[in-house]
Structure 1
Amino acid sequence: MGTTLRCRPGHPGSRILSAGTYRPRAEVGNETVAALIDSSDEWIRRRSGIASRRHAGPDEDLVTMAAAAASKALAGAGVGPHDVSAVLVATMTHRGRSTTVAPLVAETLGAAGAAAMDLGAACAGFPYALATADALIRGGAAGTVVLIGAERMTDVVDPRDRGTAFLFGDGAGAVVVGPAETCGIGPVVWGADGAKSEMLRYDETGTLRMQGPEVFRWATSIVPEVARRALDEAGLTASDLAAFVPHQANLRITTAAARALGLGPHVRVATDVVTNGNTGAASIPQALAALPGVKGPALLVGFGAGLAYAAQVVDL
């Protein structure tokens, strides 16, 4: 005699309720970075569009930054820690003694009973984790999810490496995702190209190394492609967008992608990279938090080591 499993009731959709960010206290201008790599402010701006970035201090570890960003997002959503079903942390720079960051963040927030896990998809980590949060809520496995991107890139970057030192910064960004009667997070379009993983990798000392020109060419090709696919999956066109929020890797990549997509002047293009640098998995939620008042469809695209990529349209 067969048995029928009982399934949890889910929700028809989910949506981002709020966003929060934590930016370390120390702002580091190009002159400081340039002195270590035989470069200049003009060279760095021309190569990346970056004017400054934040470097975390000894007391600004991943857990501290992640919890601070998440606390702001929870306050913005009007959600208490006891109402959180799951805590997801996207990061590629965890070097602590604990195997994962998320349980420590959940404990710090006062959401100790929530499910907690890290997701490692490098700079594509936020859209990967957002797709996971959406699936958890729609499938009934979670009610409210706190999703955080947190990085201390200065822990893994050689300050004298001319190819990486000027690009990266530290920080955390978070969103609260909750159930909705309609779809507020569109279908994810994602993938990876492991054959090219050597282009962006850790060396034997745990230091991040990058083949800059090759990564740039890959990114300027894959971002418009996956962005168009995400728009198609959401049933929208570029003219429907209110905002374009790609991973803040390099202003030249963002500009090239916006041009390839034919974005009109009505679309707010995130340029948080100029004053924040590349903060890995934290860059998209930090950029979202820097776009207050923007309402309507926003196209998110993440890409990075792996080489992994992902995109989806969300309703702000």
Structure 2
Amino acid sequence: MAYCSRLVGFGGYLPEKIVTNQELSERIDTSDEWIRERTGIRQRHIVSGEETCASMAAEAARQAITFAGLSVDDIDAVIVATCTPDQVFPTTAAKVQQILGIKKGFAFDVSSACAGFVFGLSVADNFIRNGQAKNVILIGSEVYSRILDWSDRRTCVLFGDGAGAVVLSAEEVVNTTDQKGILGVYLHTDGHYSDLLYVDGTPSIAEDHCLIRMHGQEVFRHAVTKLSEVVEEALSVHNLKHEDVDWLVPHQANLRIIAGMGKKLHLPEDRVIITVDRHANTSAASVPLALNEAVRDGRIQKGDLIVIEALGGGLSWGSSLIRL
């Protein structure tokens, strides 16, 4: 018996605190115009009070499980994509298990920076295809505000906090020519570029700054090229053309990169899901947050063919084709 992974639940959480470009301009040498012109970002959400990576992940997961019409007793596995956990261990996924009261199965984290959700999607899909799990909750949750140098206008204006989640459920494949769910996930990493986007330390060493560092122009250049290639790879494997794609749900890093990808796929602007203006770059949370918004507001419908893509530190990048 063959199984495929269907995306049946969606959820998201954004911290209550919003920081606008104008507020940032009062703290560092920047302006709303400078930020919007280069990135498309107008504001970002930042954790405050008792909001944590785990609490945001749990709330996004709770919404996704409810959307799917399931209960926590139906969940076989919890996977959290994050590189900003609350603790070195236990994993954020284990904390989500605890918060939600999930009693069975297993839980672990995946770390691949901004590409983490796509890498986690591959892992979750393989568990379902191999019959090791029936229902998997996959979450991207990030607290980048912890690792930002708030005096560096090149990086601190780019990122925000948040969490997005999807529920993947097993469905028997009856007709392979009309398969639904995740059609494929395509992943790449090239460690030769690891010095282009990194965190300059580790939380286990007290003297380390543990702040994000980025060579923005180089990352931008590689993002445009590598994301285009990996999307073309996915389409080629399935003998699909640009016009077969209904929606692009990209990693929300920079509006210029997103617009460039939409043009390469010959998609009109209203077929590209954009949240970067309001969320900024929420790393592994950006794709599931965008998916959650577009499904809930009715833009993305059942049967639509979706392309998702993301690139992050490593450099790591990937894409997926999903028939909702």
Structure-2-length-normalised TM-score: 0.91
> Where in structure 1 are there 5+ consecutive unaligned residues?
1-9
Assess, with a 3 A threshold, how the Cα gap between structure 1 residues 87 and 11 changes in structure 2: closer, same or farther: farther
User: What do residues 190-214 of structure 1 show as CA deviations (whole Å, max 9, x unaligned)?
Assistant: 1111001100011131101101111
Q: Quote the residue 1:18 is aligned against.
A: 9
Q: Aligned runs of 1:69-84 on 2, under 5 Å? A: 69-84=60-75
Alignment pair present for 1:215 and 2:219: yes
The answer to which of 235-244 and 118-127 deviates more is 235-244
1:102 is displaced (CA, Å) by: 0.5
More deviation, 12-21/27-36: 27-36
Q: Is 1:226 aligned with 2:230?
A: yes
Cα offset for 1:235? 3.0
Q: 1:236 aligns with which of 236, 240, 260?
A: 240
How much identity, in percent, do the aligned residues show?
Answer: 40
CA contact (8 A) 1:86 1:116 kept: yes
Q: Deviations over 1:235-266 (max 9, x none)?
A: 3222111110111011111001111222246x
CA change 1:127–1:97 in 2 (3 A) is closer
Distance 1:63 1:11 in 2: 34
Q: Is the 8 A contact 2:184 2:322 kept in 1?
A: no
2:321 is paired with a residue of what secondary structure?
Answer: strand
Amino acid at match of 2:191: G
Q: Secondary structure of 2:145's match?
A: helix
The aligned residue for residue 55 of structure 1 is: 46
Match of 1:154 in 2: 145
Q: How far apart are the structure 2 equivalents of 1:238 and 1:219? A: 19
CA distance in 2, matches of 1:223, 1:302: 7
Runs of 4+ in 1 over 3 A off after TM superposition: none
Distance in 2 (alpha carbons) for counterparts of 1:235 and 1:121: 28
Check the 8 A contact 2:12/2:288 in 1, yes or no: yes
Q: How many Å separate the matches in 2 of 1:185 and 1:235?
A: 15
Question: Are residue 117 (structure 1) and residue 139 (structure 2) matched?
Answer: no
> Structure 2 CA distance, aligned partners of 1:202 and 1:307?
13
RMSD over aligned Cα, in angstroms? 1.3
2:183 aligned with 1:186: yes
Size of the alignment, in residue pairs?
306
Partner of 2:277: 274
What is the deviation of 1:97? 5.2
Question: What CA distance in whole angstroms lies between the structure 2 residues aligned with 1:67 and 1:18?
Answer: 14
CA distance in 2, matches of 1:64, 1:259: 37
Distance 2:239 2:322 in 1: 12
Q: Which runs of 5+ in 2 are unaligned?
A: 174-178, 202-208
Question: Could you say which residue in structure 2 is the equivalent of 1:299?
Answer: 307
The residue identity in structure 2 corresponding to 1:214 is: E
Contact 2:53 2:86 in 1 (8 A): no
Tell me, in whole angstroms, the C-alpha distance in 1 between the residues paired with 2:100 and 2:86. 21
* Structure 2 equivalent of residue 32 of structure 1: 23
Structure 2 distance, partners of 1:150, 1:93, is: 8
